[in-house]
Structure 1
Amino acid sequence: MALFRKKKTDEETPLGAPLALPGAPDDDENGRRSLEDHRDFLLSLVKPLAPFGLSIGDSLGLELCEDVPSPVDVPRTTTSVIDGFALDSAVTTRAGNPYPVVLQVDRRPPSPVVQGTAVVVRAGDPLPAGVDCVVPEESLDADGQVSLTAAVHPWSGCRLAGSDFAAGDPIVSRGRILHPATIALLADSGAGKVLARPRPRVVVLGTGGGKSGHDGVPLLDVTAHLISAAAAETGAHVWRVEADVSDTAALREAITDQLIRADLLLITSNRPAAARRDPVADLLPDLGATDFCQVAMDPGATQGFGLVGPDLVPVMVMPPGPGAALVSFHAFAAPLLRKLGGITVTARQTVEAEALDILAGPDTPVRFVPVVLRDRGGRSCAARAGRGDARELVDLSEADAFAVIPAGQGVDVGDTVTCWAVERD
């Protein structure tokens, strides 16, 4: 049954020859693209999501799309920054040694404070009327009076109202990523909403589960679960659904049903890499403009992408197998999610590490080896996770990074290798 009933349009089922996406990069002599060329091509096909007003409680990790002015002075009132005694600085102008100014401490002060007396305040307390400075607790003499041997400057020991931001001043500037402390600052100023791009909505459409093994235990779609978790880790809203690739009509309906709620649709598969027929690759050109290619990388060479439906929703067809799909997610899907979120930084943060093992031999395309990063006396070092095979789930589960081995290069013990961190603390 369809999730969303809507009339099929010509845009969903274009007639004639399959449409190709414009601007595809050229292949090399081996019929493959470079990883960088393919990534940049995909990024050129998507635009950042439109911003709208969000509550600050829903904006963690999002990028601001406009300056946020403070609706009030911050802080709103003048407060003490120390524990001590508040008083009027004017009465201390003649203070000196050996003739100090001595003030009685009013333990239950009237409002405003009577000139010539001092009142007890704690750090963060608003200053009562009639005082303009705070002296430390050590100013109390043996008789329980405040004794001052030097004049006190006005507003000494105070945090003035509006000293952080005056009403109308920008609290947070456009382009800033909102972190917990930034959200607290907005809350302190009374700015409860911000203009930001929403979190991308990702639908992971699994096509490899739904059956039972010989022991009766369900065979779950491993790749779909892996990619769903990776997408959720980026902060995206993620839904995971399943589709039956043996029924073309049902597969078509499963894809088109998800377009209404997806900013990015990721289709995963557990089929063998050597399988000749891919039902998704056969169907997707009927739904929009597509691009299927080989990328010079291992694993994850087989790549598919399309802009589907009336809203041209980006659809990425992940290569078969968990390891290939995870590498492809970090190489291509994660940059797409950052662009959808309006974050301008699309290159991954990398770690330069010393290889503790032989990670790869020469004469290979760009290769991704699962590794464990270790600190050795302040140096980052990379050791193979298990056997260092990105196609093995056990190796992937132990790894916290991928060592990226450039095409045609080997990595021996002691060599420096660039790593993509894939696990968060």
Structure 2
Amino acid sequence: MSLLPVEEAQARLLALATPLPPTALSLAQAVGGYLAAPLAARRDQPWTDLSAMDGYAVRWADMPGPWRLVGEMAAGAVPSGDALAAGTAMRIFTGAPMPVGADTVILQEDVTADGATIRLTGEGPGAPGRHVRPRASDFGASDTLLSAGMRLGPAQIALAALAGHAMLPVRPGPRVAILSTGDELVPPGAPCPPGKLPASNGAMLRAMIEGVGGAVIDKRLIPDDLPAVTAAMREAARADIIVTSGGASVGDHDLIRPALEGAGGTIDFWRIAMRPGKPLIVGRLDQAIVLGLPGNPVSALVTGALFLLPLIRHFAGAAAPLPRPRTGRLGAAMPAVGNRTDFVRATLKDGIATPIGFQDSAAMRAAAQANALIIRPIGAPAAQAGEETQVLDWPSLGLVG
């Protein structure tokens, strides 16, 4: 069986899933989710012309003064319907509405006050309209402010609130079941005698899933026993995604494929032209997408970042679920690449991506020091330090760091 290119495998995986139906969430609940429909403003911002500085509201036609002071305007006030008379000024504060007829603000440090009269002593505003925020200069009612599929961070939440919204249509994160297989696995922190291994992948995958808004509804360790793995698969089929670690290769104890088929599922594709992570399995069981990751923890980390996290974002309605590489420069020479795309763990600093020293697929200590992946395409020639390269940093992948 030929190996599937990474980009084709990612496209086929996402094509299997349909974004989940949206629900209305409060602004606080919507943070981190993806907007399910374009968001239009319900009001003008600002609602009227506002002062951008503390000073005096005047008519530009009356420059250079002097002016007779006739009152003040603070933020939250509403102007009267009377127009500012010629030769008069009104004390005004940042965020306050401009009086009717006033079109310019003179900074308070540019005038002197003599009783009820102010005189220009500084440079002055220089042009009409200075230090004024015009009505609807940020946005107007009915303007489309946010597009569907945009992730809602703090700035987007603030914009939605200013636009007059308290509830937003957001797709929920998918429900995910994590199945870790292997006779050698014991729970983290449990006694670990010779021949046993702490189950790190489940904890890692849970952190990855919850970090991008997925909900873990099941997490368990399963021995290398085909009936047990098959039964666990059937029980996990209520999830939107079943992610397994271990058992995805071709050894006698690699049971994910036969267990999936024994549970009534189907394989869509298997084996990817990538290093690490070649023995990736993708299939379906009832309505659940099954993603079988390799058991080596670094391989599970890389394939999880490149396949599981984009799948979660796609279920949640992200407009661009796949991570986007950036251009950097190599911090060290790199060898030529064979018939698989290499994803090389690296440290990225000031645009320089330097491979970490130990690239073994089980070496988590070295992987935990990384904050990026260098992408080395199939057939890439040897490269020297300083050459351009494509890099996926941890934030772009959805990883902490």
Task: Pick the TM interval, shorter chain.
Answer: 0.7 to 0.9
Structure 2 residue identity aligned to 1:418: Q
Shift of 1:52: 2.9
1:147-179 alpha-carbon deviations (Å, 9 max, x no partner)? 369999987643344443343333334454433
Tell me which residue corresponds to 1:171.
145
Structure 2 unaligned runs (5+)?
Answer: none
Aligned partners of 2:321, 2:101: CA distance in 1, in Å?
Answer: 56
Shift of 1:82: 1.4
Q: What is the RMSD computed on CA atoms of the aligned residues?
A: 3.7
Tell me which residue corresponds to 1:10.
none
Aligned partners of 1:53, 1:236: CA distance in 2, in Å?
Answer: 17
Over 3 Å counting, the alpha-carbon distance change for 1:350 and 1:131 in structure 2 is closer
State whether residues 337 and 376 of structure 2, in contact with CA within 8 Å, keep that contact through their aligned partners in structure 1.
Answer: no
Structure 1 residue identity aligned to 2:176: V
SS in 1 for 2:19: coil
State whether residues 227 and 259 of structure 2, in contact with CA within 8 Å, keep that contact through their aligned partners in structure 1.
Answer: no
Tell me which residue corresponds to 2:186.
210
SS in 2 for 1:389: coil
Over 3 Å counting, the alpha-carbon distance change for 1:174 and 1:35 in structure 2 is closer
Over 3 Å counting, the alpha-carbon distance change for 1:293 and 1:95 in structure 2 is closer
Superposition pairs of residues 367-406 of structure 1, within 5 angstroms: 367-375=342-350, 380-406=351-377
Question: Which of 322, 329, 333 is matched with 2:308 structurally?
Answer: 333
1:298-329 alpha-carbon deviations (Å, 9 max, x no partner)? 221112222112xx210111112112212222
Aligned partners of 2:271, 2:100: CA distance in 1, in Å?
Answer: 75
Question: Which of 265, 274, 288 is matched with 1:288 structurally?
Answer: 265
1:5-24 alpha-carbon deviations (Å, 9 max, x no partner)? xxxxxxxxxxxxxxxxxxxx
State whether residues 61 and 177 of structure 1, in contact with CA within 8 Å, keep that contact through their aligned partners in structure 2.
Answer: yes
Instruction: Tell whether 2:389 aligns with 1:413.
Output: no
Structure 1 residue identity aligned to 2:370: A
1:242-273 alpha-carbon deviations (Å, 9 max, x no partner)? 1323565554454344433x33221113x696
Superposition pairs of residues 224-373 of structure 1, within 5 angstroms: 224-239=202-217, 241-246=219-224, 250-260=228-238, 262-269=239-246, 275-285=251-261, 286-291=263-268, 293-309=270-286, 312-363=287-338, 365-373=340-348
Bigger radius of gyration among the two: 1
Tell me which residue corresponds to 2:35.
64
Shift of 1:407: 3.1
Tell me which residue corresponds to 1:7.
none
Aligned partners of 1:398, 1:152: CA distance in 2, in Å?
Answer: 55
Shift of 1:345: 2.9
SS in 1 for 2:14: helix
1:166-219 alpha-carbon deviations (Å, 9 max, x no partner)? 433333344544332221111123211222322333332223443654559x95
SS in 1 for 2:17: coil
Tell me which residue corresponds to 1:104.
69
Aligned partners of 1:137, 1:315: CA distance in 2, in Å?
Answer: 66
Shift of 1:409: 4.2
State whether residues 53 and 193 of structure 1, in contact with CA within 8 Å, keep that contact through their aligned partners in structure 2.
Answer: yes
Structure 1 residue identity aligned to 2:392: W
Aligned partners of 2:73, 2:7: CA distance in 1, in Å?
Answer: 72
State whether residues 370 and 389 of structure 1, in contact with CA within 8 Å, keep that contact through their aligned partners in structure 2.
Answer: no
State whether residues 202 and 266 of structure 1, in contact with CA within 8 Å, keep that contact through their aligned partners in structure 2.
Answer: yes
Tell me which residue corresponds to 1:193.
167
State whether residues 72 and 92 of structure 2, in contact with CA within 8 Å, keep that contact through their aligned partners in structure 1.
Answer: no
Over 3 Å counting, the alpha-carbon distance change for 1:382 and 1:189 in structure 2 is closer
Instruction: Tell whether 2:91 aligns with 1:120.
Output: yes
Tell me which residue corresponds to 1:12.
none
Structure 2 residue identity aligned to 1:192: A
Over 3 Å counting, the alpha-carbon distance change for 1:360 and 1:213 in structure 2 is farther
* TM-score, reference length from structure 2: 0.79
Aligned partners of 2:363, 2:98: CA distance in 1, in Å?
Answer: 65
Structure 1 unaligned runs (5+)?
Answer: 1-26
Tell me which residue corresponds to 2:155.
181
SS in 2 for 1:302: coil
1:318-374 alpha-carbon deviations (Å, 9 max, x no partner)? 112112212222332233233223334354322444434444455453333222223
Structure 2 residue identity aligned to 1:373: L
Over 3 Å counting, the alpha-carbon distance change for 1:403 and 1:120 in structure 2 is same
State whether residues 352 and 417 of structure 1, in contact with CA within 8 Å, keep that contact through their aligned partners in structure 2.
Answer: yes
* TM-score, reference length from structure 1: 0.75
Structure 1 residue identity aligned to 2:52: V
Over 3 Å counting, the alpha-carbon distance change for 1:93 and 1:151 in structure 2 is farther
Shift of 1:47: 2.0
State whether residues 46 and 138 of structure 2, in contact with CA within 8 Å, keep that contact through their aligned partners in structure 1.
Answer: yes
**Identical residues among aligned pairs (%):** 26
Shift of 1:94: 5.7
Question: Which of 2, 7, 19 is matched with 1:48 structurally?
Answer: 19
Over 3 Å counting, the alpha-carbon distance change for 1:35 and 1:70 in structure 2 is closer
Over 3 Å counting, the alpha-carbon distance change for 1:313 and 1:129 in structure 2 is same
